[in-house]
Amino acid sequence: MTQNPQRLVVVGHGAAGLAAALSAAEQAQSLGLPIDVTVVEKSREDEAGGNTRWSPSNMRLDAPDRIDANFADDMLRACGGHGDPDYFSTLADNATATIGWLQDHGVEFVTPLYYLSAGPARIQPVGGGGAIVARLLEAAKRAGVKFIYDSPVSRLVMVEGDQVSGVEARSRDAVTMLDADAVILACGGFQGNPAMMRAHFGPGAEIIKLISPGTRFDTGDGIRVATERGASVSGDWNGMHIEPVDPRAANSAAVVLVYPYGIVVDADGRRFFDEGGGLMHETWEALARDIHFARPRNIAYAILDSRLFEIDGFERAIRSEVPPYRAPSIEALAAQIRIPAANLRQTVDAFNAAATGDPARFDASRCDGLAAADTLKPPKSNWARAIMKPPFLAYPLVGAIAYTFGGLATNARAEVLCEQGPMPGLYAAGETTGHFYRTAPNAVAVLRALVFGKIAGREAVEFLHRR
């Protein structure tokens, strides 16, 4: 062990980076090690926090101190069998302790009312992801962590082939070299990088709307700088979490999640998917992706009637600040949203003719089995009530991306892996790492950023201790 303080650089100021920095500072203190921990952040200080700051940060736990016994198996199922069992069991094993650690640092948790539909139990920090960023930042500052803003990391510096020795950060007018004995990459996915989006998802992906103001900073830099040095990758490079939002809205994440209770039509006025194919969080990703990549003008419309307002708590499922289009007739509604009136009339008539089940069975909070007759194509498997009570309503919907799945390969100690095994002194957590396949496991992204960020900080300090 050297006498001079060793240096740990953490790249990124979201849930993963702040958890890593604070946990490293605490671990160094408990071991009596002089280690300088510095967080390097791309954005200005007043914009920092990445996706986390704008995220409601629902987490799939039964309670702050209780996780479902099947959590890891559920994750592997969501990943279609491609997930790493060690990664997900480590996540499950460390989840409640990590939440307890956040509580110790002043983050309070509640059980949220999750939009309208049921599903797995979830907890949520009071104040959402913004509270996580604020509390971890305060605690990290108190623990002596230093912060450098406005400095996007652009390169990893290595010595002896595979040993990390620093990072290069390029601000608007300077290139700065920061020496480091270990580095933790926690700088998001690549959703904010149009060239990477197009390369991995094909033409049109580069113009997907970004769901929050913090999403644009995540441009795949951590993935790039590590793969340039031989790091392996994991996760589904054709996977992204994308949600249907109202394009007229100015607010962040203006989701419209009442579409299961009506029908969804394209710009020609035709239905194209089973709006009742599952609970909202089981269909939103596929719907939003389909709208962006397969529908004319990358737009669709949720068509409902005034019975929407009779659904208890319907407002929770609409985060757009713009009211819906409303009209006394289907034809007048079609005129407002500029889709062919005859087509919309025909679509609604066909749907209504098939929606013959007993409307008393309607229950927005669960799959109610109120299916349309099987002559309807595409089918509607739940919540099939005729659209008949004016005023008629329409919400425009476009896809907005939250994060990508493809990222760095890491192990249960958050070490970045290359073909030969762990890369000495290099760690990663959160969206910068892969691990998700097929569909985003609901309410897990923030939890995994926190759990593996905390592990990365502790492990990086243990690595420096052993040197």
Ligand X SMILES: Cc1cc2nc3c(=O)[nH]c(=O)nc-3n(C[C@H](O)[C@H](O)[C@H](O)COP(=O)(O)OP(=O)(O)OC[C@H]3O[C@@H](n4cnc5c(N)ncnc54)[C@H](O)[C@@H]3O)c2cc1C
Residue whose entry in the numeric block shows the structure tokens 């103001």: 213
Cβ distance to ligand X smaller for residue 219 or 382? 219
Q: How far is the CB of 192 from ligand X (least distance, A)?
A: 8
Which of 135/380 has CB closer to ligand X? 135
Name which of 257 and 449 has its Cβ closer to ligand X. 449
Q: Which residues contact 122 (CB under 8 A, 6 or more apart)?
A: 58, 59, 60, 61, 111, 112, 114, 443
Nearer to ligand X, 376 or 449 (CB): 449
Q: Name the minimum Å distance from CB 410 to ligand X.
A: 12
What DSSP letter does each residue of 314-377 carry, written as one string? GGGGB--SSPPEEESSHHHHHHHHTS-HHHHHHHHHHHHHH--S-GGG--TTS----PPPTTSS
Question: In terms of CB distance, is 84 or 221 closer to ligand X?
Answer: 221
Distance set, CA 112 to CA 41, 401, 440 (Å): 31, 23, 20
Work out whether the CA dihedral 299, 332, 395, 265 comes out positive or negative.
negative
Peptide bond into 56 cis (omega under 30): no
Write down the least CB distance from residue 59 to ligand X, Å: 6
Smallest separation (angstroms) from ligand X to the CB of 53 = 7
Identity of the residue numbered 159: V
Decide whether 64 or 379 has the Cβ nearer to ligand X: 64
Task: Work out how close the CB of 336 gets to ligand X at its nearest, in angstroms, rounded to a whole number.
Answer: 28
Residue ranges that bind ligand X, judged by CB under 6 A: 11-17, 40-43, 48-52, 54-59, 129, 152-153, 186-188, 211-212, 215, 217-219, 221, 253, 402-403, 430-431, 443-447, 449
Are 221 and 41 within 8 A, CB to CB? Answer: no
C-beta neighbour count of 250 within 10 angstroms: 9
Which residue lies nearer to ligand X by CB, 206 or 368? 206
| φ/ψ of residue 439, rounded to 5 | -135, 150
User: Cα–chain-centroid distance for residue 240?
Assistant: 9
User: Residue 253 Cβ, how far from ligand X at the closest point, in Å?
Assistant: 4
Q: How far is the CB of 9 from ligand X (least distance, A)?
A: 10
CA 450 – CA 173 distance, rounded (Å):
33
The total of other beta-carbon atoms located within 10 Å of residue 115's CB is: 24
Rounded Cα distance, 99 and 418, in Å: 31
Q: Measured from the CB of residue 303, what is the shortest distance to ligand X in angstroms?
A: 25
Q: Shortest gap between Cβ of 233 and ligand X (angstroms)? A: 16
- Nearer of residues 14 and 262 to ligand X, judged by Cβ: 14
Measure the CA–CA gap between 460 and 429, rounded to whole angstroms: 12
**Closer to ligand X by Cβ: residue 11 or 196:** 11
Which CB sits closer to ligand X, 48 or 387? 48
Query: CA end-to-end span of the chain, whole Å?
Result: 6
Question: Least CB distance from residue 264 to ligand X, whole Å?
Answer: 21
Residue 269 contacts by C-beta under 8 Å, 6 or more apart in sequence?
334, 339, 340, 341, 342, 343, 344, 346, 347
Structure tokens at 459: 């492990």
- In this complex, which beta carbon is closest to ligand X, that of residue 343 or of residue 411? 411
For the bound state, the minimum distance from the C-beta of residue 125 to ligand X, rounded and expressed in Å, comes to 10
Do residues 427 and 459 lie in contact, with contact meaning Cβ atoms separated by under 8 Å?
yes
